Amino acid sequence: MDFQVFYTSEELSRCLANSGSVDDAYRPLVAAIILLFTVVAISSNVVVLGVYVFHWRSSFRSQPFTYFVLNMIISGLLYACTNLWVSIPCTFDKCLYISSDVMMIVLATPNSLAHWGYLFSALSLTTYRFAIFISKSFAEDRLRVKVLLISPWVLTSALTFGTTAMGCFKRYSRLALAYTFNCSDCDLGLGITYPDVNFYCGQVIPLAMIAAYVFILVSIYRNRKRNVGFHQRQALVDSKLAFQFTVICFAQYLAAFVFFIVPKLSHGHIWSAIVMNTIGTINVSVNPIVLLLFNQQIRGSIRSHFFCTYNAPNTGTMRLLYCNLPQGTEAGRKREERKKKQLRGNIA
């Protein structure tokens, strides 16, 4: 099949017509649902990012794990933010401000960057966790850790910009309300296309990560039963992390599976448009939500910044209401001084 490099608006509409078309009456509903999940994704990622920023020097700077999570957060934010300038306006009113094919490609390409960045960042984190589970000394090898941290962005850039340069463009179909590689030359040779690579990587990589975490969980369980090299505290940390990231990897597998299967089952149905536009956004929300639910350090940091707690001293009946402000700040020192004075008053 012959492809043009770029199309006029009319030519592109005709070319993408085979992808199906959603009734215009459903556009506001689909746009509202995309916006809802986008707000959740951005909010959850920003909250976790804010915790890291506030406690960077005191808690997170020295932890290599943090840098891997930051890679995923940055990718997740890019993915969700792309909805704000492409999928939401194009769904609601066909984004008429995107007046040329080139502009559509430029604005939609960050979706691919974020997709691959998130997937490879999760893979590098899994490799790191698996390596230090096998050998704790791996964490001390700074060169290997740095290679793992940089590799997601190198691979992402090579794949995205390389395929874009060869004419495999990602666009957002204003008719089917979905990202698509249709009307692009995505043939990589030997009968393999870029969407094929996208699909199989989206399946194989998450399954490999799940297998790694299952191996960790099974090893912890077996060592516990045999009492061989078993350290209860470290085993608990490893098992919690393995469970958390098994959930995250499963979400990635499901997102990739649905993204490529749904278009084959349905063309132009409203449920197809909703699923295609939300599954990826839900996927990038899972990581921060899991961290907010299971990571004690992050939960404690959020409580210290945004919530007040009651403290009932053993020396008296008075209950104190105070907000846990960051240690080392002027407000934090004043709060500590007030607390000490109140305690001395109760003792007297």
Has residue 3 been placed in a domain? no
pLDDT digits (tens, 9 = 90+) for 129-168: 899 888 878 877 889 999 999 999 999 999 999 999 999 9
pLDDT digits (tens, 9 = 90+) for 73-90: 999 999 999 999 999 999
- Are residues 103 and 157 part of one domain? yes
Has residue 220 been placed in a domain? yes
Q: Which structural domain, as residue segments, surrounds residue 339?
A: 308-347
- Are residues 331 and 240 part of one domain? no
Has residue 28 been placed in a domain? yes
Q: What's the total number of domains in the chain?
A: 2
Query: What CATH number does the domain containing 301 carry?
Result: 1.20.1070.10
- Are residues 151 and 263 part of one domain? yes
- Are residues 131 and 206 part of one domain? yes
Give the per-residue pLDDT at 157: 96
- Are residues 324 and 260 part of one domain? no
- Are residues 242 and 343 part of one domain? no
Structure tokens at 26: 């459903």
Domain boundary among 273, 291, 306: 306
Instruction: Identify whether the C-beta of residue 23 lies closer than 8 Å to the C-beta of residue 267.
Output: no
- Are residues 227 and 332 part of one domain? no
Instruction: Identify whether the C-beta of residue 324 lies closer than 8 Å to the C-beta of residue 309.
Output: yes
- Are residues 197 and 103 part of one domain? yes
Strands (E), the chain: 171-173, 178-180, 187-189, 192-193, 308-311, 320-323
Which positions ≥6 away from 278 have C-beta within 8 Å? 33, 34, 37
- Are residues 176 and 116 part of one domain? yes
Confidence at 243, pLDDT banded by 50, 70, 90: confident
- Are residues 316 and 233 part of one domain? no
- Are residues 175 and 113 part of one domain? yes
- Are residues 274 and 135 part of one domain? yes
Give the per-residue pLDDT at 136: 79
Structure tokens at 337: 């001084």
Integer Cα distance of 167 and 148 in angstroms: 29
Has residue 1 been placed in a domain? no
Higher pLDDT, 347 or 247: 247
Question: Quick one: which of 64, 248, 210, 26 has its CA closest to 150?
Answer: 64
